[in-house]
Amino acid sequence: MISRSVEGDREAAFRAVFDQNYAELCRRLTPFLGDHAAVEDIVQEAFIRLYYRPPSRMDNLPAWLFRVAVNLAYNRLRSEERRRRREHGAYEQPEEAWEEEVLRREEIAGVRKALARMAPRDRFCLLLRFRGYAYAEIAAVLQVDPGSVGTILARAREKFRKEYGSTVVES
C-alpha cells in the first residue's frame, strides 16, 4: 500500500508540472520549428525525459524542460537538414514564376544556411533575443552568466553577418 501511495504522489506531482509548463513550452518552441505538431512531439519527449530521468536538482524545472526541449529541437533541425541535403540531389524543385517569391525564398534560405553554420549556443542566443527574450532569460536557457549574454550576442551577430555574407556570395 505504501508504494502505491508514493507512486500516486509522484504521478500527481508530474501531472502538476506538466499542466503548468506544457502550453508555455509549446509557445516558446514554435518559432524555432514552425510546425506545431513537431513542437508538441518535442515537448512531449522532454516530459518523458523528465519522468524517467529527472534532473538531480529540481529547483528550476521550467528552465530544465526548456533546455531539454531546445536540445531536442536542435537535433530535429539537424536531422531534417541532413534529409533535405540527401533529397536535394534526388530531384530539383521547379523554379517559381514570380521574381519576388524567388528572391524571398533565397533570402530565407540564406538566413537558414547562415544559422545552420553557427554554433548551437550562438544560434539559439540570436533566436531567443529575436523573439524578445530578456538577457536574464537567455542566460538561464544557455546556462551562462547573465553578464556575458551581451558579449555572446555581439559575437553571435558578427558571426551571423559573416556567415550570411558567405551564403550570399555562394549563391
Q: How does DSSP classify residue 93?
A: P
Give per-residue pLDDT as tens, 130-140. 888 899 988 88
Give per-residue pLDDT as tens, 57-93. 888 899 999 999 999 988 888 888 778 777 765 555 4
Q: Which of 61, 19, 20, 23 is nearest to 40 (CA)?
A: 23
Q: How does DSSP classify residue 53?
A: S
Question: What is the structure's pLDDT at 91?
Answer: 52
> Cα–Cα–Cα angle for 7, 13, 14, nearest 5°?
90
User: According to the CATH classification, is domain 1-93 in 1.10.1740?
Assistant: yes
Query: Per CATH, which fold does 99-171 belong to?
Result: Arc Repressor Mutant, subunit A (1.10.10)
Q: How far is CA 120 from the centre of its chain?
A: 9
